[in-house]
Structure 1
Amino acid sequence: MTVRRVGSEERLTTSFPLQAYAFEGSPRSVERAKEFREYLPYNEGNRTLVVEEAGETRAAVSAIPMRENLRGRVLPMAGVAGVVTHPLARWQGHVRTLLHQLLDEMRDEGHQLTALWPFRPSFYGRFGYVGLPLRRTVSLPVADLAPLLRADLPGEVGWERIGAGYPAWHEFTERCLRERHGFALFPDYRAVALRDRNERWLVTARVGGTVTGAATYRIDEHGGTLAADDLLATDPYARSLLLQFFARHIDQVATVRFDVPADEVPELWLTDLEVHVQARVARPGSSAPMARLLAVDALTGLPVGPARVRVELTGDRWLAGVYLLDGTTGALELARAGAGGAPSATLTAAGLSGLAYGVLDPVEVHLRGLGDVPADAGAELRRLFPRRLPYLFADF
């Protein structure tokens, strides 16, 4: 068995066929293999590792060099994708071997965070990943948005194909990356697939020429559904402008559907709004994302509450050690030092990641078996890392 990194053209005969088998209907026509070449430019900068035996690919994993906002700081993040194994080579430890090497290499290159969409969350939990909120899918009758047609809202709306509007979309998502906890973006070589395929409309909300909200969407048929992707808005005015635009389709479609972050409450947007909000997690095929810290240095400089705690990080390949987390200045400082009278806690990588991403309370860390957190240490950790729901945004 050998592990090696494959280049662009090699993906056509190594990782791509296994990914198609794992994530698509099969068997597919020979034309499907020809389509793989169209994907190559959007995978050019990925790091893909494979396990080979007797010259045959037995497993593959990839990492996409991304960026993610962690509590206000934008950090390099490794988006793990294309985790696949040959059907005759499963349950033999190939993925474990590949993930260890992949994350070693990405960490050495400076990626301080990593995230993925798991095929089985418990499997990735053993690698220190912790669950993040799944975005909510909102469905509502377009007729219920009719009151917005009479609303006088500040700003204006733009409408065009995504191919033409991509520069505005790209600039706005960069703003979201800077401002939204958990928000993650693809590298440019991958992101431009949306522009190149040009299969979406783009609607933008603007105030004073500045984009404050945006959504990409398509319409399936007359009398059907206007299906948007993520409804991105910086404030309620921007959101209302986008919804008002959807309302203008009242004589064209019956339903509007779009995704929102987990902390949105669409049932409160309007009175008499018949709305269905769903976040469905199932296995296989519909899991919530997961993430973890790859380096403790990811915490350095984060805006935190005034607290001080000593943590021992155990059982992890990348984070193990004893650290003093000091937030007394409002920006987190780390030191490998003695406690100096600070309360102490023992955490796993998943436990610390859950606190840093804001998805777990210190009590939940203890209940989940992700650490030993006495009450005094828990109070300090709670002040350092108050609850804050992340919004991963990108699918990979």
Structure 2
Amino acid sequence: MQIRQISAEERVDHIFPLSTYAFSPSPWADSDRVTYLSRVGYFATATGLIAEEGGRTVAAATALPMRQNVRGVVRDMAGVAGVVSHPSARRKGFVRQLVTRLIGQMRDEGCAVSALYPFRPSFYARLGYVGVPRVRTATFAPEGLSHLLKADLPGEVERLSMAEGFDEVNALTLRMLGERHGFSVYDETRTADFRERETQWVALARSGGEVVGAVLYRIDSYGGDLIAQDLLTTGPLGRALLLQYFARHVDQVGRVTVKIGTDEVPELWGTDFAVLTESRVDFPSHGAPMVRLLTMQALNGLHAGADVGVTVEVTDDDLLAGRYRLTGDAGTLTVEETKDDPQATLTCAGISALVYGVLDPVEVVLRGFGRFDGDAIEALGALFPKRMPYLFVDF
């Protein structure tokens, strides 16, 4: 088996057959290949690796250049996607070798963190990834928001096509990238792909000329469902304007479904408001995302929870292994390599879970991701207080 990097144009011959078989209804039509070919330009900045055996492509993996907010600081991120293999090549270690090579290459090219949606979390856990929350959905009848129809809100909502609203939605996501922990965006090359997709409406909420909220949605049928993507808002006013907009569909749709972050509390959107809030996680189609650090230097400059210090050793990971002194100074984290004896021993998943805020030190120990003494538990908990990330990744 040999691994090599391919160009965007080569994806059609080497990755399209595998990814279409893995993720789409098959056999596929010739039109599917034509559609894929028309989009290869949007992968010009992606890194695609393939495994070949006997001159035949048997597995592939792609890293999309992205950026992510990690505790208030935006880092370059490798978004791993399109991990596929031919049925005859599965369970042979090809995908493991591909992903290991891919994230190492992306680290060398400057990416500090990585994220993906797993087909099987335990597989990626062995590669150092740890789970973060999946976005939830809120489903409700629009009449439940009827009280908002009487509200005189200082703003308005405009309905636009994707082409018309793309620039303003993109600007809002870039603003939220700088403000919201876990938020992620593609690079300009990949993001441009969404401008051409006319399968969704854009609802833009403005107040005083400023965009304060946006949501992409479609309506499946008269009397059916209004199906919305992530509810993107800069605060309560943007949320209220978009919910009021949903309420105005009371005589058109029977239900509204919208994606929300873990900090949203839909049951408080109204009195006597009936809503189903859920997060579905199953495999392989509805996995919760996973993340990992690619370098310990990614921690420099992050927002620290306290002015304390602790020495840790990271083990069992080729990219992170070593001893480090982590120090909080005036709310900012610094990382230095050290030869001092460690107060805590962590796996890659353990330090990644602390940095992303999804586990506290006690939970890290219980999950088997580390061993600490009492002082280290307190210091790490102070440096990295729990803080649930909102992993928004696309339009």
Q: Same fold (TM over 0.5)?
A: yes
State the match for 1:27 in structure 2: 27
Gaps of 5+ in 2: none
Q: Indicate if the aligned counterparts of 1:202 and 1:217 stay in contact, CA closer than 8 A.
A: yes
3-state SS of 1:192 partner? helix
State the match for 2:116 in structure 1: 116
Residue 196 of structure 1 pairs with residue 196 of structure 2: yes
TM-superposed deviation, 1:39: 2.3
Q: Distance in 1 between matches of 2:233 and 2:372?
A: 37
Describe how 1:11-50 pairs up with structure 2 within 5 A.
11-50=11-50
Q: Indicate if the aligned counterparts of 2:76 and 2:113 stay in contact, CA closer than 8 A.
A: yes
Q: Indicate if the aligned counterparts of 1:309 and 1:339 stay in contact, CA closer than 8 A.
A: no
Residue 218 of structure 1 pairs with residue 214 of structure 2: no
Q: Distance in 1 between matches of 2:34 and 2:354?
A: 45
Residue 383 of structure 1 pairs with residue 378 of structure 2: no
State the match for 2:329 in structure 1: 328
State the match for 2:274 in structure 1: 274
- State the TM-score, normalizing by the size of structure 1: 0.97
Count of matched residue positions in the alignment of Structure 1 and Structure 2: 394
State the match for 1:362 in structure 2: 361
TM-superposed deviation, 1:198: 2.0
State the match for 2:67 in structure 1: 67
TM-superposed deviation, 1:55: 1.4
Identity %: 49
TM-superposed deviation, 1:52: 0.6
3-state SS of 1:159 partner? strand
Q: Distance in 2 between matches of 1:338 and 1:45?
A: 39
Q: Distance in 1 between matches of 2:274 and 2:222?
A: 21
Task: Write out per-residue CA displacement over residues 40-74 of structure 1, whole angstroms, 9 at most, x where no aligned residue.
Answer: 12222110000111211010000000000001100
TM-superposed deviation, 1:156: 2.2
State the match for 1:98 in structure 2: 98
3-state SS of 1:170 partner? helix
Task: Write out per-residue CA displacement over residues 301-320 of structure 1, whole angstroms, 9 at most, x where no aligned residue.
Answer: 11112221110000101000
- Provide the aligned C-alpha RMSD in A: 1.3
State the match for 2:350 in structure 1: 351
Q: Which amino acid aligns with 2:279?
A: A
Q: Which amino acid aligns with 1:388?
A: R
Q: Which amino acid aligns with 2:386?
A: R
Q: Distance in 2 between matches of 1:358 and 1:93?
A: 31
Q: Distance in 2 between matches of 1:119 and 1:374?
A: 35
Q: Indicate if the aligned counterparts of 1:324 and 1:338 stay in contact, CA closer than 8 A.
A: no
Gaps of 5+ in 1: none
State the match for 2:302 in structure 1: 302
Q: Indicate if the aligned counterparts of 1:133 and 1:289 stay in contact, CA closer than 8 A.
A: yes
Task: Write out per-residue CA displacement over residues 211-250 of structure 1, whole angstroms, 9 at most, x where no aligned residue.
Answer: 1111011111111111110001111111010000111111
3-state SS of 1:106 partner? helix
Describe how 1:112-261 pairs up with structure 2 within 5 A.
112-261=112-261
TM-superposed deviation, 1:124: 0.3
3-state SS of 2:57 partner? strand
Q: Indicate if the aligned counterparts of 2:69 and 2:178 stay in contact, CA closer than 8 A.
A: yes
3-state SS of 2:320 partner? coil
Q: Indicate if the aligned counterparts of 2:142 and 2:254 stay in contact, CA closer than 8 A.
A: yes
Q: Distance in 1 between matches of 2:326 and 2:67?
A: 24
Q: Which amino acid aligns with 1:336?
A: E
TM-superposed deviation, 1:163: 0.7
After the TM superposition, list the runs of 4 or more consecutive aligned residues in structure 1 that deviate by more than 6 angstroms.
none
TM-superposed deviation, 1:389: 0.5
TM-superposed deviation, 1:158: 2.1
3-state SS of 2:39 partner? helix
3-state SS of 1:123 partner? helix
Q: Indicate if the aligned counterparts of 2:326 and 2:333 stay in contact, CA closer than 8 A.
A: yes
Q: Distance in 1 between matches of 2:154 and 2:339?
A: 55
Q: Distance in 2 between matches of 1:282 and 1:152?
A: 42
Q: Distance in 1 between matches of 2:10 and 2:394?
A: 24
State the match for 2:85 in structure 1: 85
3-state SS of 1:387 partner? coil
Q: Distance in 1 between matches of 2:93 and 2:246?
A: 49
Task: Write out per-residue CA displacement over residues 311-359 of structure 1, whole angstroms, 9 at most, x where no aligned residue.
Answer: 000010100000000103321111122559xx71100010000000000
Q: Distance in 2 between matches of 1:123 and 1:347?
A: 19
